[in-house]
């Protein structure tokens, strides 16, 4: 055995243990797409999908992607530098208008968009200021910038969503320029950034505010353009990153900003320059979803909000703790690893998928099921899931908060 095999064996002990106990929850194999799928032949209602408006499998979207396959195939075999199509450029122009920015750049994933943007903008004159709950792409982009020869920005964290903590950091920063990065909606907690407070502090301390609105795109604001529409603060946030991997039904990263900022990133971001361009069938799918949002966005967003409010109301009425959530993303707090995993397994056996989030993704005592309500869920899906969550919430003492006690053999 080589050292890499030994290393793999040692480091996988927790995964092995979970598999032995038959509570390993990840990489479940879906046998079809959509919010209603099957796993091992069993019908499943999926509450772990980020297809927030339920458009991924819409016949119009699929038809557009199929048409693009005929014209371009499934890939362009090169990066955007020499593989940009009319479809990419038209969609960038339309998205910039829809979001309300000068310009837009389409990356191949949201993860790459964030990495490329942070490394292009943050240099040795910059302090990067991050919320302590930042998504992996923000952390990885920051670590990459920190390790890039000649750039090495200062890195500081502020307490999650705390304006006071942000102010302390900005006051004591060591570099001239500050770039503050927050998320519109936090993906594990379902709470919105306190944007109005952050805008005010950033203005006072001459800092630039950048928003990753991956989960706010298509879900917030009357037209669905995100948290900046909802808060009417678009003019105060010069840089926004988003993704096609949630509401836009596919994959792809988005950067919005002024023409010059976009041009700077376009010519510097290695995650853009040295990775294959987004396949045109995916561009066509996203473009069709944009058509649908332009035609009917407000009604679709409203329907999502109605379904989320119904589900939230029923969970709260039953006595569940939803943490700080105030959106369609609702963590059902179990505050115990075993309770979380048992709930997940029991629900799945009854045909409902809610993904468990445990340490180290969250702190000990903050284990939860992450539940996403989408517009694509039917009333029957919601009611079925609610009944089951309530039953198992009682059975596993999530509702009472009692200890689960030792396991019987």
Ligand X SMILES: Cc1ncc(COP(=O)(O)O)c(C=O)c1O
For the bound state, the minimum distance from the C-beta of residue 216 to ligand X, rounded and expressed in Å, comes to 9
- Stated as kind and residue range, the H or E segment containing 357 is strand 355-357
Q: Is the peptide bond before 405 cis (omega within 30 degrees of 0)?
A: no
Residues 197-216 interacting with ligand X (rule: CB under 6 A): 212, 214-215
243 binds ligand X per the rule CB under 6 A: yes
Pick the closer one to ligand X by CB: 52 or 396: 52
For the bound state, the minimum distance from the C-beta of residue 219 to ligand X, rounded and expressed in Å, comes to 12
Q: Token match 């055995």: residue?
A: 1
Q: Token match 């298509």: residue?
A: 218
Among 68, 137, 169, 201, binds ligand X (CB under 6 A): 137
Among 46, 49, 85, 109, binds ligand X (CB under 6 A): 109
For the bound state, the minimum distance from the C-beta of residue 108 to ligand X, rounded and expressed in Å, comes to 9
The helix/strand/coil state of 196 is helix
Q: Which residue is nearest to ligand X (CB)?
A: 110
293 binds ligand X per the rule CB under 6 A: no
Distance CA 292, CA 280 (A): 18
118 binds ligand X per the rule CB under 6 A: no
**Strand pairing category for 253-257 and 368-372:** unpaired
110 binds ligand X per the rule CB under 6 A: yes
131 binds ligand X per the rule CB under 6 A: no
Among candidates 247, 367, 381, which has minimal Cα distance to 311?
Answer: 381
Among 126, 245, 287, 372, binds ligand X (CB under 6 A): 245
Residues 148-167 interacting with ligand X (rule: CB under 6 A): none
**Strand pairing category for 103-107 and 253-257:** antiparallel
Select from 91-99, 108-116, 275-283, 398-406 the region that touches ligand X (CB under 6 A): 108-116
Among 253, 279, 356, 393, binds ligand X (CB under 6 A): 253
Among 47, 101, 111, 158, binds ligand X (CB under 6 A): 111
Distance CA 333, CA 189 (A): 10
Residue 325 · residue 189 · CB < 8 Å = yes
Distance CA 70, CA 10 (A): 48
Distance CA 295, CA 58 (A): 15
Residues that bind ligand X (CB under 6 A): 109-111, 114, 135, 137, 183, 187, 212, 214-215, 243, 245, 253
């Amino acid at each position: 055995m080589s050292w890499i095999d030994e290393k793999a064996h040692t480091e996988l002990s927790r995964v092995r243990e979970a598999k032995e106990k038959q509570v390993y929850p990840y990489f479940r194999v879906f046998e079809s797409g959509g919010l209603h799928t099957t796993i091992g032949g069993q019908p499943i209602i999926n509450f772990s999908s980020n297809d927030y408006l339920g458009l991924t499998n819409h016949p119009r979207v699929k038809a557009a992607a199929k048409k693009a396959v005929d014209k371009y195939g499934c890939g362009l075999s090169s990066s955007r530098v020499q593989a940009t199509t009319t479809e990419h450029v038209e969609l960038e122009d339309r998205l910039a208008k829809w979001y309300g920015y000068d310009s837009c750049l389409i990356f191949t994933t949201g993860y790459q968009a964030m990495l490329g943007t942070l490394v292009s903008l943050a240099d040795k004159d910059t302090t990067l200021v991050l919320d302590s709950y930042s998504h992996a792409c923000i952390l990885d982009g920051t670590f990459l910038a920190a390790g890039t020869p000649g750039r090495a920005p200062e890195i500081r964290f502020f307490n999650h969503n705390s304006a006071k903590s942000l102010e302390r950091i900005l006051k004591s920063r060591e570099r001239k320029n500050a770039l503050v990065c927050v998320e519109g909606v936090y993906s594990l907690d379902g709470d919105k950034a306190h944007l109005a407070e952050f805008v005010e502090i950033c203005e006072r301390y001459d800092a630039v505010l950048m928003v990753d609105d991956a989960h706010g795109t298509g879900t917030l604001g009357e037209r669905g353009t995100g948290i900046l529409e909802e808060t009417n603060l678009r003019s105060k946030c010069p840089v926004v990153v988003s993704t096609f991997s949630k509401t836009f039904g596919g994959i792809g990263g988005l950067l919005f900003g002024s023409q010059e900022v976009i041009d700077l990133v376009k010519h510097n971001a290695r995650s853009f320059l040295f990775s294959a361009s987004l396949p045109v069938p995916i561009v066509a799918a996203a473009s069709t979803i944009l058509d649908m949002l332009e035609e009917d966005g407000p009604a679709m967003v409203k329907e999502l909000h109605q379904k989320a409010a119904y589900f939230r109301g029923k969970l709260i009425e039953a006595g569940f703790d939803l943490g700080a959530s105030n959106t369609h993303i609702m963590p059902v707090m179990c505050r115990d690893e075993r309770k979380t995993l048992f709930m997940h397994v029991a629900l799945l056996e009854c045909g409902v998928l809610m993904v468990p989030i445990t340490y180290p993704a969250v702190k000990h005592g903050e284990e939860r099921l992450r539940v996403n309500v989408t517009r694509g869920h039917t009333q029957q899906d919601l009611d079925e899931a609610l009944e089951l969550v309530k039953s198992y919430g009682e059975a596993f003492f999530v509702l009472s908060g009692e200890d689960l006690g030792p396991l019987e053999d």
